[in-house]
Amino acid sequence: MVVNILVGLGVALFGFVLQTAMGGINRKIVARVQKRIGPKWYQEFIDIFKLFSKRSVSHGWIFDFGVIMALGGIIATAMFMPVTANIIAFEGYDNFFIFVYLLAVGMLGMAMSASGSGNPLASIGVMRALTTMLAYEVPFMIVVMTIIKLTGGTSSVSEIAAFQQIAGNNWFIIALPLGGIVAIISLMGMLGKKPFETYIAPAEIASGPMVEYGGKQLGMLFVMHEITVFIEVSLFIHLFLGGAATLGVYLLKYFLVYTALNLISSVYARFKIDQVVVFFYKWPLFMAVTQAIIAIYLGWVI
Amino acid sequence: MKSTKFSPMTQEQIDKKWWEIGNYFRRNSLWMLMYCTGCCAIELPPAMTSAYDMERLGMGPMATPRQADVLLVTGYLSLKTLRRLIYTYEQMSEPKYVVGFGSCTINGGIYHDSHAVINKLDQYIPVDVYVAGCMPNTEAVMNGFTDLMGMIKNKTARGWLDYKERNDWYKKNQLDSLGEVLVHDEFHE
Amino acid sequence: MNFASIEMILMITLASGVLAYLIGKLNAKLGSIVTILVSMYVTIAVIYFGYNGELVITTEYLPLVTFKVTNIGLFFASTVTFVFAMVSFFNPFFIDKYKFKALYSMLYIFSLVGILGVFFTDNFMTLFVFFEFTVWSSMFLIPMGKSTKSTTLYFAMSTIGSFALLYAIFLMRSQSGSFDIDQGLAMVSGAKATWTYILLSVAAFAKLGAFPLHLWLPKVLGDAPDPVTAVFSGGLEKLGAFVAVMGLVRLAPVSFNIGAIDMDFARYVIAFIGSITIIIGTLMAIRQDDAKKLLAYSSMSNGGYIIVALTIGNGIAISGALYHVLAHAIASAAAFLAIAAVARKTNTTKMSELGGMIHNMPITYMVYLIAIISMAGIPPMGGFISKWMIFQAVINKGLPIIAIGVFFGSIGSFLYVFRPLAALFLGQQLPEYKHLKEAPFFMVLPMIILSGLIIYTGVLPNYILGKINEIVVDLGATAVTITEYTITGFNGTIHPALISGMFGVGVFVAFLIFITFKKSKKVTLMDTYTAGEFIYTEELLHYSVDFYAPLERLYEKYIHIMEKTYDSIRNKIAEVGHFFKYYFFTNKPEVSVFWIVIIVSLLLWGESLW
């Protein structure tokens, strides 16, 4: 048990290091897209450690407690995440719904802490984040439901990945093309990439939920954000891109997915919040349901 | 003969060591809060975008004073703005630095004889680096930033400590010019 | 005299109801304390005797009433009586606000009697009588709150449910020849089974507040006195779930089978309505300003989950539904009690008028937080287990359209449960409430017990799931595979204790990170980023009005559709009435006589027509 917990914490740490490095590399790539030189690849590490070295302000116990709960919830979620087929802390317990809902604990902690700061912009940011969540989560879950149904009924993330590696089965992004598109769009929403960046919106609501954070609290939220991105991108890799047999393949897939999303995001402007909702409930939901019906009832799977 | 055994560092030395490590991170990741009061602000877009790309120095714009490390005062400050600038400066989390842009923050510049504009910014809040010029070149702005980084490295960017130590003096100057820092007008009961 | 006899418990409770009235006439506070004692007694008696298998079902004094202890009855009875007992602690603190103080205590106990009767009988007539007894006694509790109008609505909707139940009973009796519940449900068949199915669903819908009979729920729960609201949401509403189990699970309607999903059409329709209930409940909850109404709509949406799960009707689904009954009962009771504790101090439940209550009432805040985590179905609380099982059932059955509702409600619940948290408890501390203190100990105590139970149901659900498995087997479905700590569903295994443990580990690590670094500087709530602007009024910095305005704007045009539908139905009925009045009851007596003769002869002939 102790070993498992250590492996789990290791996965969380790995996720943090990986995503922080990827974040830095991607800042560099986006800079190149914009004809800039861009920061050092380890810039994100510097940012986070700098935040930890600063003296922050606190708006009362709920402000601190929420941050702890946020990071704790996300670390707990990451502990269940399989990296490759072999690197997994709690085998058999990597249920898809754990990721969706345990992630929500972290989000709730952050939302609570942000509202506890007493800043209206933070509450507006939380409102937008939750509304965006309502938008992207439903189409995504319908697609995942299709996947669970197609794998013969397993919601274990690593087993879904293993299912796609069996000869004769395509990756689900190919097997379910409509669903794949929906998943990519939803992933953009999950990661808060443009055009779904409504809840951060620095120029509009002063970075939303994070408006009152500085110093170590902001640093912890950054760590939380990095691990969240790791969880979400990993989920996408395992559910749609056939998982990873070795660490190298995993890193490659991770890099490709995250970079592709960043490149898409770097050429878009921001939606308004109601546009986000209307958008997701128009095409992605329609496509997700169509995909579910033709895959489950008609059995048309590539 | 001197003993070679490990001599534990005092708490002070440990703190100093940590501070130096912290300084490395701080100077390589300066997040700015742009208080765009005057025309010098126009120098920031080229500094940020592909022409000069300050992100390669680890700098970037931030939305709120809580998150920011360095406050950029880009131009003249009227009395109304000064109040808000002081309020904003006090909200920043420590350590914090201030960069004053243009001659307006140094001596009032072309507004030196205006009744509504202050002349010397460092009377009211501590300024670590001035970038002179009316308005300064973008090269000068970038140079100012690298200067600030050097100062952080040499531990000479001590403005925020000075503001704590000589708080009475700063407060007195502020009150002399403003009457009071807080405002009560028709919007505030 | 046997104290473990249901009859005895019932009669003691009934008598103490009268006693509470008499004592309450002398001293209102004492009368309400009787309600605590009685409901505690009933809870302990039911749970202790029930789960030790010692409940005696023979009747000595009450005529025509027969009892039977079933696993499901026991489960519902212990859940609901427990909620009653916990809520009763609030009665002494609220009794001064009511006009009829003694009556309140009596009716509170009487509704408990009705509940007990419904859950422990094997006879449809007894069930109906006690069902009505509950409806009537609870009906008079409602107008002691804000308005009497909602009572009318409750009565009207309840009547629909009651008549549906009565017709269903008659239909079953016409086939089985007795009022016995098991026989009636087992023997009804053919088209009558479908009709019974529909009628029982209507009865369940009326009680659960499901679409389209949901209009009473928010009004009643919003207007009723605060403790009564908690009882309604945590207890009385669950009567509907009980009827739903009877109708939706134990009956097999015969319309036609939908081949693709291997599900009967009637079942699918009910599941669809359940799904619509979830969506409407969620959307309406999002736009409420009154915290009680918000939670009322959330009750409605959770009722939808129970309906969806029961229509699917396999082992996982039924256990999910029953676990949801329990999890939602305690969570919503805790949430309503927390709101009630705030309302007692501030005299309002409007979120736009409140703010920063966390600084006055931290324990109440924690109780509310735990309750909403469970209501939103987030681990490590009880709601996650039940929602997980319901999701499994929906996915396994492959119902994408219904899944939209189920997932929407689940994510939407994050939105609406967060709103009171942000607007009422967090945010700026409004000056008019700065002097308030935490609720008194005897109000905090039941809330803490409920919170403890919410965590227990989320961390170690297996004991209760074992009990639910017995019910599932009784209902003829396969039991859920559970070991000491794990639950295995269709799509995999979860280990709730492991999840909670890892959450603990995560929080511990985060806490270590937090204390390693420099201590923060304490600042006040008003010292906050305002883009350099000076703001001194707390209200201006408190975001609580129209919290989800951008989202609300998308659907606010459509929210009154149901009210309008009912209005137009009423107008149509009135028109029909005018029509009859015009043709049959003219001022020419011979026309009236003519029609009367025609109708009488039709009626006489009717036997052969039918």
Tens digits of per-residue pLDDT, C406-445? 888 888 888 888 888 888 888 888 888 888 888 788 888 8
Q: Give the one of C358, C359, C499 whose C-beta lies nearest to A102's C-beta.
A: C499
The answer to whether the CB of C341 falls within 8 A of the CB of C443 is yes
pLDDT for the residue numbered C191: 77
**Cis, peptide link before residue C212, omega less than 30° from 0:** yes
Q: Does C529 touch chain B (CB under 8 A)?
A: yes
Q: Give the Cα separation of C82 and C55 in Å (integer).
A: 17
Residue with token string 């043709």: C583
pLDDT (0 to 100) of residue C490: 79
Would you give the DSSP letter of residue C369?
A: H
Give chain A's radius of gyration (CA, Å). Answer: 19
Which of C4, C71, C90, C93 is closest to C42 using CA atoms?
A: C4
Q: Please answer yes or no on whether C534 and B88 come within 8 Å at the CB atom.
A: no
Cα angle for residues C284, C289, C291 (degrees, 5° grid): 90
* Confidence at B189, pLDDT banded by 50, 70, 90: very low
The C-alpha angle with vertex C360 and arms to B187 and C218, in degrees rounded to 5, equals 85
SS3 of B73, please?
Answer: strand
Predicted pLDDT of residue C608 = 57
Residues in chain C: 610
Length of chain A as a residue count = 302
Contact A165, A219 (CB under 8 A): no
Of B56, B40, B57, B60, nearest to B138 by C-alpha is: B40
In angstroms, what separates the C-alpha of B114 from chain A's closest C-alpha? 32
Cα angle for residues C233, C239, C245 (degrees, 5° grid): 120
pLDDT in tens, C220-272: 888 888 888 888 887 788 888 888 888 777 777 776 777 667 777 878 888 88
Q: Are residues A119 and C528, on separate chains, in Cβ contact within 8 Å?
A: yes
pLDDT at C465 over 80: yes
Place of tokens 């920061």: A39
H or E, element range at C393: helix C382-397
Q: Helix crossing, C216-223 with C149-176: angle to 10°?
A: 130
Give the CA distances from residue B61 to residues A126, A151, A299, C127, in Å, rounded to whole numbers and listed in that order: 22, 47, 51, 69
C512 vs C519, more confident: C512
Ordered structural domains, chain B, with CATH:
39-60+76-178 (3.40.50.12280)
Helix, strand, or coil (residue B125): coil
Percent of chain C with pLDDT over 70: 98
Pairwise CA distance, residues B95 & B27, whole Å: 11
8 A C-beta contact, residue A195 and residue A273: no
Chains touching C by CB (3 or more pairs below 8 Å) = A, B
CA distance B164 to B155: 16
Instruction: Give yes or no for a contact between C214 and C277, defined as CB atoms under 8 angstroms apart.
Output: yes
Which regions in chain A score pLDDT beneath 70? none
Structure confidence by residue, pLDDT tens digits, C485-499: 888 877 888 888 888
Residue C233, classified by CB atoms within 10 Å of its CB into exposed (0-12), middle (13-18) or buried (19+), is: buried
> Six-digit token pair at C185?
């449900």
Q: Inter-axis angle of helices C291-312 and C265-286, to 10 degrees?
A: 160
Contact assignment for B66 to A46 by CB distance below 8 Å: no
Q: Name which of A104, A121, A206 is nearest C378 (Cβ-Cβ).
A: A104
Cα–Cα distance measured from residue B47 to residue B145, given in angstroms and rounded to the nearest whole number: 10
- Supply φ then ψ for residue A277, to 5 degrees: -65, -50
Q: What residue type is C250 in one-letter code?
A: R
Pairing of strands C263-264, C257-258: antiparallel
**Cβ contact, residue pair C513, A137, below 8 Å:** no
Whole-angstrom distance, CA of residue C241 vs CA of residue C306: 7
Sign, CA torsion A231/A234/A238/A240 = positive
The length of chain B, given as a count of residues: 189
Query: Which residues of chain B make contact with C521, given a CB cutoff of 8 A?
Result: 93
Give the span between the Cα atoms of A141 and A100, in whole angstroms: 9
Q: How far is B50 from chain A (nearest CA, A)?
A: 5
Closest CB to B188: pick one of C527, C529, C535.
Answer: C535
DSSP tag of C3: T
* H or E segment to which residue C300 belongs: helix C291-312
Rounded CA-CA distance C550/C528 in Å is: 25
> Which of these, A221, A229, A146, A218, lies nearest to A190 by C-alpha position?
A229
As given in the structure block, the two tokens for residue C56 are: 């005696």
Q: Which residue has the higher pLDDT, A169 or C326?
A: C326
> What are the beta bridge partners of residue B97?
B70
Amino acid letter for position C423: A
Domain coordinates of chain A in residue numbers? 2-296
Spatial contact of B117 and B108, defined as CB atoms under 8 Å apart: yes
Separation CA A237–CA A244 (nearest Å): 8
A156 beta partners? A95
User: Which chain A residues have a beta carbon less than 8 Å from that of C505?
Assistant: 5, 8-9, 75-76, 79
Alpha carbon distance C432, C436 (integer Å): 9
- pLDDT of res. A81: 86
List Cα–Cα distances, A299 to A169, A175, A294, in angstroms: 14, 11, 6
Residues C153, C219: contact at Cβ < 8 Å? Answer: yes
Could you give the 3-state DSSP secondary structure of residue C58?
Answer: coil
Predicted pLDDT of residue B27: 85
Identify which of C391, C422, C551 has the shortest CB distance to residue A126: C422
pLDDT tier at B1, thresholds 50, 70, 90: low
Taking the CA of residue C528 and the nearest CA in chain A, the distance in Å comes to 6
Q: Among residues 217-246 of chain A, which lie with CB inside 8 Å of chain C?
A: 217, 219-220, 223
Q: Residue C256 in contact with residue C263, Cβ under 8 Å?
A: no
For the residues C310-339, what does the mean pLDDT come to?
87
Residue of chain A minimizing CA distance to C490 = A153
For residue B84, what pLDDT band results from cuts at 50, 70 and 90?
confident
Three-class HEC string of C203-271:
HHHHHHCCCCCCCHHHHHHHHCCHHHHHHHHHHHCHHHHHHHHHHHHHCCCCCCEECCCCEEHHHHHHH
The verdict on whether omega for the bond into residue C380 sits within 30 degrees of 0, i.e. cis, is: yes
Q: Is C223 exposed, middle or buried (0-12, 13-18, 19+ CB in 10 A)?
A: buried
As beta bridge partners, residue C56 has C5
Q: Which of residues 47-106 of B touch A (CB under 8 A)?
A: 49-50, 53, 55-58, 61-69, 91-95
CA-closest candidate to residue A128, choices A105, A101, A107, A156: A107
Q: Does residue B66 have a pLDDT over 70?
A: yes
Q: In what order do the strands lie in the sheet with B70-74?
A: B60-61, B31-35, B70-74, B97-101, B129-131
The predicted-structure confidence for C40-92, as pLDDT tens digits, reads as follows 888 888 888 888 877 777 777 777 777 888 888 888 888 888 888 888 888 88
Best of C516, C529, C537, C540 to mutate (most B CBs within 10 Å, chain B): C529
Q: Which of C370, C341, C371 is nearest to C357 (CA)?
A: C341
Q: Which amino acid is at C530?
A: T
Residue C286 to residue C140: CA distance in whole angstroms: 29
Which residue's structure tokens are 């300050």? B54
Look at residue C127 in the predicted model and tell me its pLDDT: 85
Residues of C in contact with A138 (CB under 8 A): 404, 407-408, 411
Q: How close is the nearest chain A Cα to the Cα of C404, in Å?
A: 7
Q: Which of B21, B55, B145 to mutate to test the interface with A (most CBs of A within 10 A)?
A: B55
Lowest mean pLDDT among A169-173, A248-252, B162-166, C383-387: A169-173
C255, C264 contact by CB (below 8 A): yes
Q: Who contacts A297 (Cβ-Cβ below 8 Å, separation ≥6)?
A: C260, C261, C398
Q: In this predicted structure, what is the pLDDT of residue C427?
A: 81
Return the C-alpha torsion angle B40, B41, B42, B45, nearest 10.
140
- Which residues from B are below 8 Å from C533, CB to CB? 84
| Structure ipTM | 0.91
- Report CA A243 to chain centroid distance, whole Å: 16
Partner C contacted by A117 (CB < 8 A): yes
Residue C283 parent element (H or E): helix C265-286
- Residue B28 · residue A53 · CB < 8 Å: no
Can you read off the two tokens belonging to residue C389? 């099982």
* Closest CB from A12, A93, A131 relative to C551: A131
Residue-level pLDDT at C262:
74
Backbone angles phi, psi at C258, to 5 degrees: -85, 115
Residue C517 sits at the chain B interface (C-beta within 8 Å): no
Residue B181's pLDDT is 61
Using alpha carbons, select from A199, A3, A8 the residue that is nearest to residue A89: A8
Dist. CA C407–CA A142, nearest whole Å? 8
How far apart are the C-alpha atoms of C3 and C9, rounded to whole Å?
7
